[in-house]
Every structure is written in structure tokens, then in C-alpha cells.
């Protein structure tokens, strides 16, 4: 990674990882083992020797100097013996320290006094002759002291160097272990940011959590980890600002991975400064806490659901202490008893028990209190605050031995309505039985295989069986026509039986027509309605059969009348049509057109009814707007539709139509459909046009006679005659020629261009 963490970063990690006991337990252990050699400290030159060796060297040095002086005395007789002995003191003090130096000084002084100072062979006593010995002793003391000081200083220096080397080795080992720890942690994203907020280092945990490889993310600004909303409001910069000013920033929030997915993260950012307080960058520890957040959210949802369930439950949840006092009661108690929860907490559980039932309630609750666990439900009557009595069902769970509850949990449900409903149900069943027996229709109850399990009196009368005989039979025994497997396959749908068994009990799902066979073999038509009911704890098919013999005869008569009417309509010289009412926007709802439409327009009834826009498209352009407006108006108002218009036939001719339609209503006045007749009045229109032209000619002749008999000038008479000719004939131009004196025709008067 090229980065050795400093003390600030290690302290940051201790706060971000190790300091959190719960998180540490979930962290993945570093799997790579660190193998570092055990190194012994190097022995320094100034380590303590043994006492015998140090003092032996001092003695040996004095002896060597003394021997050397004795051997060289003839050559250096003039030299003081103390000069060589000072060297021995220096050697002894340098090698052994203060003690050996002093020993060498004492031995040298005694040897010099004995061998070289007069009187030779004797020790000089105190006096003037002892002065050189005293000076030598003082010199040896100084040399020993100085050597001891130098030796101690050198020892301290070597010890300091050794300590520094040991500290450096320990630091290297610690940094190596720390680096391997950082690289091996996969549950945490641990990395450095430079002072500008760009990524400087990366670890395996950061790659696993954020999805970026090291070469992809190094140098990127930290906003790459934040949502667009956070980036827009400057949240990454705010985090660095707070960390810079306060030393650290900690939060839990949403972050974004490389693939764009979001996750919940616990983030700790710490500002890293050097000894001078200069900001060197930031360390950032990120942990994916999505699972924890989801668990917390799920826990909150569960708690909220449980709380909402209890608070909004229609049942009353009550927790009762061992002494029978109410510890908690849910808000539903006010709806059931009229008491608010705070009015009951601390009160006895028998507070709203009917006094008439108090003794029974005390006995019952004493038994419940003595036996732990869930007890079978029971019903009891309680008093409402307004004095009325309500029926309640209780389910008791004795949890006095449960340390988390230490109470009795009672689920109380108002069953007053259910009790009333059960009474009403019994009454309803009684009435149903009466209706069942007194119905004018034949009623049957049978199972899914068609075996009868019940029938009414009318069913027995209509089929000619006694009830005992009929209950021995099945639907197949009394039905003239049953659907076969082939017919069922052709219909490709459910039968009434199947629909009924799948439908809601108590509802008729459909009707069908069939024939029932009497005991004597005769048959009669019936309309059968099929549904299901709960009978004897099982779902059964309920069928009603109504004799429709009279209706069938009426339908046959109606069909015969319709055939006669159709024959009559199709014989009249006009097109008869029936159009359904428009629902919403106007649309083509033609349901019948008589065959005369072929001779009128050239289209068959099928063609005319199958083309929704055909009537509008065939209207003459000069009449279309007027006719459609009248059609829309009468559709809204319900007034009769009476319009004359031109229409194009299939071969392109123009035909005149008189179209008259009325809105047919039922007996209650509700509109049913439009019924109309289209008359071909083309010949009538042509005759009217011819008559109009004849009248115009007669009028022109009359005006001409009036002009000719008038006293007008000849020029005026000519102009008037030309005008009459143009109006009658429809000409746009006319000329009156007269013969001149030579007998040639020349234009006298003209009309038009």
C-alpha cells in the first residue's frame, strides 16, 4: 500500500473498530499469520565484566608497568615512575571503571614508593618525601573519575542506541502487523483521504463494501461514495469541515456503491495532524450496516404493527396482576364497556362484572389464576358504564410464571351482536323452513353427485312422489335432459353445478330451462335456478324448479304474433327499422331493417346494419348537417323524428326519403327503442317539381300578356319580356331580333352577358 499508519490513525482505528465490542465480535479475523524472527539484543562493548576480571586487569596493568620500569630502569632512570604508572591507571580505569582505576592507583603508588623512591625497599612515611606519591594518588583519582564519567557516558549512549534500535524493530513489527490487519479486514472499509478529500489508500474491506478496485478509486474525490442528493447539498464537504474543526465526524447514512446500489453505512472520519498541528489528511472507517438497519426497521415495523394491532384491535387486551388488579387495558375497552383505560387501571378485574354474577366470576377467576397456560374460551355478561349488559367472550392466558409478563393476559371480545345474530339465525332458519315448505316453486337440496337430501311439499306434489320416495332418488331420475360429456366439451365452460359449488353460499348463480319427469312418466317444462347453501355443515346445491308451461304457451303465441307482424311489415311499400337507444356518444345501433331497403337503397338488410356509418355517408351533402342536427335533438328530447332528405343509392342515384321515427316506451314510460319508417318520395318530389314549373310558365304567360297590353314603350316592353323569359326558362342570356328595312334580322334587345 505504500503507507505506514501513524499513532493518530491507530488511535482512530481503536475508536472505530476495536472500541466497539459488538462490532469487534462480528469482524472477520485476519487469516494471514505474521512470521517475524525473534531477535536478541546485540551486546555492547561496555557491558559489565565480571568483578574478578576487571580488578585482575587493573592489577595486571600495574604489574606490567612495574616490570617494564624495572627492566628499562637503566635506560630511563631519569624518568619519573609515575608517568608509566599513570598509563596503567588509565588502562585499569578505562577497562574496569572507577574501582579498578583506584586499585591501580593504590598499587602503583605503593610500588613506586617501595621500588623507586628513596629509601628504596621501604615505604615512605608521611613527610615531604610522600608528596610525589600523594600527587600521583590525586592524579589517579582524577583519571579514574574522568574515565568512569567517559565510560558511563559511552554506556548511556550505547544503551540509548540499543533502545532506539529495539524501538525501531518493535515499531516495524507493529506497523507490519497493523498493515496486514488493515489489508485483511473485510468487514470495514478503512482508507486514507488527503487534505483535499481524495482517496489516498484502499483496503480489501473498502473494495468489498464499495465495489471499487484500488487503481480505480485512488485519487477520486470522496463524493463518489455519496448520493446525488447529498452531493448537491454539499454534505461530503460538510463532513470534512466538521472533522477538521472538531477532530472527527461520525454518522450513519446512505452511501452509493460502484454499481449504483445504495446501502446504509456507519462512517467515522478523523482528521490526522502532525506534531506541529498541520493537517496531513483524514482517516475514514466505513461499515456496511444495511443488515442492521433492515433488522431495526423490521423490528420497528413489527413493534409498530403489534402496538397498532393491540391499540386498534376490536378485542380488549387486558393484563392483570397476581392480586387481580388491572395493570393494562387496551383502548377498545371504552367501546365495549364505556370506561376509558385510565379509569380501569389499578381497579379490580371484577370492577365491571354484573353484581348478580360476581360470586360466579370470583370462583371462575380463582380457578383460572391457579392453573397456568391458555384456558378454553367462555362467555360472561359484563356491565356497560351506562348500565346495560353486554355479552363478552373471554380467552385467558395465565402467564404469572413468565418472568417477562408476570401477569394474566385476557382477550375479551364483545359477542353481544354475535349472540343476537345467532338468535336471529335460528329465527331465520325457522322462517326459511316455513318459506321452503310453503314455496310455490319446487325446491330441492342435493349433494354434488345429485342425490336429494331435502325437498319441499311442492316438489313432491309436482312430481307425484312422497317425500320419502323422492329422497331416495337423484337429479338424474327426475330430469328429462342431462348435459352429456360431449355437450359439456362443446360449451367449453362451467356447468351451473360447478359455478354454484365455486360461488358464494346463499346466492343463485344462474338459471336454465329443462324438463322434469313425473312419477307417471309425463314431463313438463321448468325454469331451474341453481345456487349453494350450507346444509348440515356441508355445502350443498340448492335448486328451484318453476313450472313454465303457461309461459311456454304464451311465448309460442308471441312468436306466432311476431311472425305475422314481420310478414305484414315486410309487405308494406316502405323500409321499417328498429334502432336501440344511444348510450353516451351517438352511435349506430340498428337491430332490424326490413327487406325493402334493397329496393330503396340497393343494400341488403345485413349490409345496411353491419356498416355503422352507412346512413351518415349516404346523406346528400346539402342535407347532411340539417338531418344530423335533427337526429341529435330528437335523441336528446325523445320527440318524434320527422325529416325529408336526399340520399344516395348504391348505384349513385339520388332518392328523396321521408323518414319518420318515434320513441317506443314501456308501460312505466321508460324508453325502449326507436321504431321508424323510411318512405321513398322521389316520384312525389318529381311531380311537385313538374307542377311548380307548370305554374311558373302560366304565371309568365300571364305577365307577358300584361306587358304586351300595357302602354309601355317598345324598348321597355322588350326588356320586360326578356326578363320573364329568363326567369321561366332558367336561361342566363336571351336576345330579341327584329328585321330591319332590308329584311335582315338584327339584335333589338338582349338579356344576360
Whether domain 315-421 has CATH 3.60.150.10 = no
Burial class (CB in 10 A: 0-12, 13-18, 19+), 531: buried
Burial class (CB in 10 A: 0-12, 13-18, 19+), 143: buried
pTM of the model: 0.34
Which residue ranges does the chain devote to CATH 3.30.450.20?
186-294, 315-421, 439-549, 570-680
* Ranges 194-203, 211-220, 236-245, 725-734: which has the least confidence: 725-734
What is the assigned CATH class of domain 439-549?
alpha beta
The CA distance from 496 to 503, in Å, is: 10
Q: Which three cell numbers stand for residue 616?
A: 351518415
Examine the pLDDT at 31 and tell me if it is beyond 60. no
The CA distance from 21 to 38, in Å, is: 32
What does each C-alpha distance from 361 to 365, 379, 397 come to in angstroms? Answer: 6, 11, 16
Burial class (CB in 10 A: 0-12, 13-18, 19+), 467: middle
3-state secondary structure (DSSP) of residue 12: helix
Could you tell me which of 545, 533, 508 has the C-alpha nearest to residue 433?
A: 533
Q: What is the pLDDT of residues 400-430, one digit of tens each?
A: 888 878 888 888 888 887 888 778 777 877 7
Computed from CA positions of residues 421, 427, 433, 434, in that sequence, does the dihedral angle turn out positive or negative? negative
User: Regarding the domain with residue range 570-680, which homologous superfamily does it belong to in the CATH classification?
Assistant: PAS domain (3.30.450.20)
The CA angle 28-30-32, to the nearest 5 degrees, is 145
In the block, which residue shows the cell 311489415? 569
Q: In the prediction, which pLDDT does 648 show?
A: 94
Average pLDDT over residues 596-624: 90
Could you tell me which of 607, 630, 635, 610 has the C-alpha nearest to residue 619?
A: 630
Is the backbone peptide bond immediately before 119 cis, with ω within 30 degrees of 0? Answer: yes
Residue pair 350/358 in contact by the 8 Å Cβ criterion: yes
User: Regarding the domain with residue range 186-294, which homologous superfamily does it belong to in the CATH classification?
Assistant: PAS domain (3.30.450.20)
Q: What is the pLDDT of residues 378-398, one digit of tens each?
A: 887 888 888 888 888 888 888
The CA distance from 426 to 414, in Å, is: 20
Q: What is the pLDDT of residues 450-484, one digit of tens each?
A: 899 899 888 899 999 999 999 999 988 998 877 65
pLDDT level of residue 449 (50, 70, 90 thresholds)? confident
Q: In the prediction, which pLDDT does 642 show?
A: 93
Amino acid at each position: 500500500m505504500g503507507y505506514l499508519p501513524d499513532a493518530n490513525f491507530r488511535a482512530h482505528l481503536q475508536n472505530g473498530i476495536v472500541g466497539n465490542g459488538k462490532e469487534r465480535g462480528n469482524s472477520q479475523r485476519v487469516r494471514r499469520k505474521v512470521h517475524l524472527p525473534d531477535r536478541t539484543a546485540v551486546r555492547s562493548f561496555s557491558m559489565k565484566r565480571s568483578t574478578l576480571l576487571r580488578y585482575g586487569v587493573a592489577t595486571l596493568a600495574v604489574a606490567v608497568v612495574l616490570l617494564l620500569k624495572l627492566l628499562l630502569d637503566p635506560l630511563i632512570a631519569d624518568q619519573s615512575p609515575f608517568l608509566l604508572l599513570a598509563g596503567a591507571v588509565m588502562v585499569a580505569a578505562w577497562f574496569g571503571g572507577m574501582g579498578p582505576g583506584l586499585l591501580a592507583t593504590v598499587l602503583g603508588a605503593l610500588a613506586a614508593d617501595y621500588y623507586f623512591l628513596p629509601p628504596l625497599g621501604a615505604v615512605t612515611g608521611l613527610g615531604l618525601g610522600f608528596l610525589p606519591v600523594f600527587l600521583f594518588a590525586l592524579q589517579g583519582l582524577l583519571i579514574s573519575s574522568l574515565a568512569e564519567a567517559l565510560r558511563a557516558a559511552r554506556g548511556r549512549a550505547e544503551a540509548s542506541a540499543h533502545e532506539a534500535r529495539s524501538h525501531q524493530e518493535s515499531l516495524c513489527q507493529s506497523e507490519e502487523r497493523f498493515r496486514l490487519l488493515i489489508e485483511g479486514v473485510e468487514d470495514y472499509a478503512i482508507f486514507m483521504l488527503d487534505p483535499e478529500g481524495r482517496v489516498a489508500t484502499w483496503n480489501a474491506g473498502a473494495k468489498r463494501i464499495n465495489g471499487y478496485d484500488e487503481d480505480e478509486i485512488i485519487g477520486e474525490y470522496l463524493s463518489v461514495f455519496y448520493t446525488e442528493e447529498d452531493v448537491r447539498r454539499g454534505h461530503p464537504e460538510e463532513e470534512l469541515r466538521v472533522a477538521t474543526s472538531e477532530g472527527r465526524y461520525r454518522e450513519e447514512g446512505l452511501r452509493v456503491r460502484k454499481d449504483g446500489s445504495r446501502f446504509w453505512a456507519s462512517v467515522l472520519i478523523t482528521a490526522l495532524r502532525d506534531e506541529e498541528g498541520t493537517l496531513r489528511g483524514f482517516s475514514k472507517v466505513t461499515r456496511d450496516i444495511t443488515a442492521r438497519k433492515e433488522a431495526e426497521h423490521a423490528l420497528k415495523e413489527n413493534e409498530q404493527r403489534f402496538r397498532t394491532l393491540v391499540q386498534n384491535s376490536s378485542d380488549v387486551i387486558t393484563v392483570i396482576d397476581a392480586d387481580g388488579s388491572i395493570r393494562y387495558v387496551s383502548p377498545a375497552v371504552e367501546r365495549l364497556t364505556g370506561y376509558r383505560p385510565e379509569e380501569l387501571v389499578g381497579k379490580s378485574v371484577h370492577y365491571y362484572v354484573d353484581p348478580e354474577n360476581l360470586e360466579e366470576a370470583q370462583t371462575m377467576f380463582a380457578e383460572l389464576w391457579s392453573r397456568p397456560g391458555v384456558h378454553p374460551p367462555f362467555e360472561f355478561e359484563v356491565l356497560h358504564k351506562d348500565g346495560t349488559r353486554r355479552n363478552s367472550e373471554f380467552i385467558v392466558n395465565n402467564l404469572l410464571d413468565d418472568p417477562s409478563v408476570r401477569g394474566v393476559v385476557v382477550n375479551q371480545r364483545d359477542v353481544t351482536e354475535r349472540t343476537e345474530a345467532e338468535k336471529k339465525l335460528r329465527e331465520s332458519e325457522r322462517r326459511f323452513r316455513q318459506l321452503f315448505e310453503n314455496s310455490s316453486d319446487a325446491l330441492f337440496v342435493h349433494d354434488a353427485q345429485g342425490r336429494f337430501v331435502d325437498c319441499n311439499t311442492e316438489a313432491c306434489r309436482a312430481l307425484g312422489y312422497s317425500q320419502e320416495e323422492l329422497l331416495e332418488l337423484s337429479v338424474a331420475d327426475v330430469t328429462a335432459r342431462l348435459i352429456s360429456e360431449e355437450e359439456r366439451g362443446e360449451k367449453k365452460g362451467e356447468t351451473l353445478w360447478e359455478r354454484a359449488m365455486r360461488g358464494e353460499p346463499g346466492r343463485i348463480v344462474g338459471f336454465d330451462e329443462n324438463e322434469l319427469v313425473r312419477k307417471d312418466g309425463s314431463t313438463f317444462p321448468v325454469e331451474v335456478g341453481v345456487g349453494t347453501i350450507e346444509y348440515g355443515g356441508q355445502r350443498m346445491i340448492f335448486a328451484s324448479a318453476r313450472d313454465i308451461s303457461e309461459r311456454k304457451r304464451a311465448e309460442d303465441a308471441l312468436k306466432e304474433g311476431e311472425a305475422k307482424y314481420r310478414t305484414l311489415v315486410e309487405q308494406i311499400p316502405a323500409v321499417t327499422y328498429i334502432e336501440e337507444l344511444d348510450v353516451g356518444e351517438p352511435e349506430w345501433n340498428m337491430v332490424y331493417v326490413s327487406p325493402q331497403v334493397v329496393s330503396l337503397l340497393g343494400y341488403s338488410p345485413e349490409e345496411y346494419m353491419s356498416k355503422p356509418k352507412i346512413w351518415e355517408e349516404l346523406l346528400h351533402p346539402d342535407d347532411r348537417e340539417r338531418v344530423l342536427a335533427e337526429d341529435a335533438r330528437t335523441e336528446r328530447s325523445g320527440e318524434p323524428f320527422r325529416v325529408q332528405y336526399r340520399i344516395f343509392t348504391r348505384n349513385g342515384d339520388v332518392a328523396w326519403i321521408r323518414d319518420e321515427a318515434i320513441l317506443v316506451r314501456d308501460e312505466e314510460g321508460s324508453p325502449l327503442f326507436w321504431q321508424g319508417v323510411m318512405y321513398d318520395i322521389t316520384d312525389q318530389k318529381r311531380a311537385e317539381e313538374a307542377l311548380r314549373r307548370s305554374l311558373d310558365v302560366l304565371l309568365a304567360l300571364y305577365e307577358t300578356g300584361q306587358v304586351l297590353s300595357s302602354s309601355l314603350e317598345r324598348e321597355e316592353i322588350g326588356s320586360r319580356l326578356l326578363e320573364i323569359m329568363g326567369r321561366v326558362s332558367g336561361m342566363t342570356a336571351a336576345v330579341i331580333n327584329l328585321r330591319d328595312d332590308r329584311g335582315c334580322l338584327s339584335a333589338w334587345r338582349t338579356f344576360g352577358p
